């Protein structure tokens, strides 16, 4: 029982990794885009769970909100907007499938070999670092929570990228509206 | 006792990347191609978070948030292009996009 509790994170990792991989394969292989979108949702949510295992609580919640909420609704909306009957494909894949599979296996083998060669030490991570920040007076706040720590890093050291991201979102919004307008 | 290392995350993220890449290159349905792009971006995020933990540095998490922002903008513009394309050609099949072919 104790061993089960100790290896709990590992078990959770394998469970969610399996869900993510099955969902990803579903996205690429399923014929109906609606089923593909639902598989994609499963992948997004299990990746959010994997973020939690690496002490990225805020990013996990953002992942669920933005991917599971926003992007997913956008995809489902567009799938319903375009006529599904016209989406039916006679051939699912472009090009000869054996060639594709051989290329994918080659790529997998190449990078898999690199992964076997490169070894990372077990992370001597300090999870406390992800929940603490230093304020303007130079005072260290421990156990402040991941959201506060991310906010301090985002609004002090990374303020310029943050503003650029807001301009990017504005441009993307205008672009989407212009593209979607009926001429 | 089982333990999870950064390598586990790297292998998972790489598998997701390859699956997404195969989808981008081979599928003929535009919506599925866009969803495969989201898969690839997600695998990159997984890498960033794993290395953020390995190096005990919050910057990886910040970068992952920016990646999610860019992915949201990309999805909005990509689906806008898809709608415009569908209006023009009455199909979402990528083989119909031949205007720029010489």
ipTM reported for the complex, 2 dp? 0.90
Structural domains counted in chain B: 1
Q: What is the share, in percent, of chain A residues with pLDDT greater than 90?
A: 31
Contacts of B54 (CB under 8 A, 6+ apart): A120, A123, A125, B6
Mean pLDDT across chain A: 83
Q: Chain A within 8 Å of B64 (Cβ-Cβ)?
A: yes
Range of the domain at B21: 6-96
Place A18 in a pLDDT band, splitting at 50, 70 and 90.
Answer: very high
Instruction: Report the pLDDT value the prediction gives residue A30, as an integer from 0 to 100.
Output: 85
- pLDDT at residue A121 is higher than 80: no
The CATH number assigned to the domain holding B78 equals 1.10.287.3510
pLDDT at residue number A151: 87
**Pairwise CA distance, residues A34 & A87, whole Å:** 11
Relative to beta strand A133-134, strand A140-141 is antiparallel
Residue B92: count of CB within 10 angstroms of its CB: 26
Domain-located, residue B32: yes
Residue B101 lies in a domain: no
- Flag whether B24 is in a domain: yes
Residue A90 has pLDDT above 70, yes or no: no
Assess B42–A contact: CB distance below 8 Å, yes or no.
yes
Helix, strand, or coil here: A113? helix
Q: Does B98 touch chain A (CB under 8 A)?
A: no
Confidence band (pLDDT; 50, 70, 90) for A91?
low
Find the CB nearest B84 among A92, A97, A179: A179
User: Which residues from chain B sit within 8 angstroms of residue A37, using beta carbons?
Assistant: 31, 35
pLDDT at A75 over 60: yes
Which of helix, strand or coil describes residue A112? Answer: helix
Q: Please answer yes or no on whether B1 and A179 come within 8 Å at the CB atom.
A: no
pLDDT digits (tens, 9 = 90+) for A171-182: 999 998 888 787
The reply to whether B68 touches chain A by the CB within 8 Å rule is: yes
Residues 6+ apart with CB under 8 A from B47: B9, B10, B13
> Is B81 inside a domain boundary?
yes
Q: For residue B53, what pLDDT is reported?
A: 87
B69 located within any domain = yes
Q: Is the dihedral of CA B26, B43, A122, B5 positive or negative?
A: negative
pLDDT at position B39 is 93
**Residue A53 CB-half CA count within 13 A:** 26
More confident residue, A90 or A150: A150
Query: Residue A87: pLDDT above 60?
Result: no
Per residue in A146-159, pLDDT tens?
Answer: 888 888 888 888 89
Contact A87, B92 (CB under 8 A): yes
pLDDT at A1 over 60: yes
Looking at the domain assignment, is residue B1 inside a domain? Answer: no
Spatial separation of the C-alpha atoms in residues B92 and A159, rounded to whole Å: 40
Sequence-distant (6+) residues with CB within 8 A of A60 are A48, A49, A51, A52
Q: Spell out which residues of chain A touch residue B45, defining contact as CB-CB under 8 Å.
A: 47, 51, 59, 63
Does a structural domain hold residue B102? Answer: no
DSSP B27: B
Under DSSP, the state recorded for A93 is: B
- Beta partners for residue A134, in sequence order: A140
Residues 2-31 of B with CB under 8 A from A: 2-12, 14-16, 18-23, 25-29, 31
3-state secondary structure chain B: CCCCCHHHHHHHHHHHHHHHHHHHHHECEHHHHHHHHHHHHHHHHHHHHHHHHHCCCCHHHHHHHHHHHHHHHHHHHHHHHHHHHHHHHCCCEHHHCCCCCC
Question: In a structure prediction context, what are the per-residue pLDDT tens digits for chain B, which is 102 residues long?
Answer: 677 888 888 889 988 998 898 888 888 788 889 999 999 999 999 999 988 888 888 888 899 999 999 999 999 999 888 888 888 887 777 777 777 766
CB-based contact (8 Å) between A81 and chain B?
A: yes
User: Is B92 part of a structural domain of the chain?
Assistant: yes
Contacts of A81 in chain B (CB under 8 A): 83
User: Residue B45's pLDDT is what?
Assistant: 93
From CA A178, how far away is CA A165, in angstroms rounded?
20
Residue to substitute from A6, A59, A126, A149, interface B, most B β-carbons within 10 A: A59
């Amino acid at each position: 029982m104790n061993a089960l509790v100790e290896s709990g994170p590992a078990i959770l990792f394998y469970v969610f990794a399996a869900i993510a991989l099955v969902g990803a394969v579903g996205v690429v292989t399923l014929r109906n885009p609606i089923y593909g979108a639902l598989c994609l949702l499963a992948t997004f949510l299990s990746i959010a769970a994997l973020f939690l295992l690496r002490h990225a609580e805020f990013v996990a919640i953002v992942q669920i909100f933005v991917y599971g909420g926003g992007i997913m609704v956008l995809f489902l909306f567009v799938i319903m907007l375009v006529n599904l009957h016209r989406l039916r494909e006679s051939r699912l894949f472009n090009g000869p499938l054996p060639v594709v599979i051989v290329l994918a296996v080659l790529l997998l083998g190449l990078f898999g070999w690199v992964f076997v060669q490169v070894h990372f030490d077990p992370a001597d991570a300090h999870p406390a670092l992800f929940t603490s920040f230093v304020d303007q007076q130079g005072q260290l706040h421990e156990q402040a929570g991941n959201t506060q720590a991310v906010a301090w890093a985002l609004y002090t050291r990374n303020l310029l990228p943050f503003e650029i991201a807001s301009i990017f979102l504005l441009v993307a919004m205008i672009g989407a509206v212009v593209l979607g307008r009926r001429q | 006792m089982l333990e999870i290392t950064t390598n586990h995350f790297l292998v998972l993220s790489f598998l997701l990347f390859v699956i997404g890449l195969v989808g981008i290159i081979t599928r003929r349905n535009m919506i599925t191609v866009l969803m495969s792009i989201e898969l690839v971006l997600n695998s990159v995020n997984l890498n960033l978070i794993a290395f953020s933990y390995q190096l005990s540095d919050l910057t990886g998490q910040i970068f992952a948030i920016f990646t999610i922002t860019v992915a949201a903008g990309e999805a909005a513009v990509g689906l806008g292009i898809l709608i415009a394309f569908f209006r023009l050609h009455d199909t979402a099949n990528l083989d119909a996009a031949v205007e720029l072919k010489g």
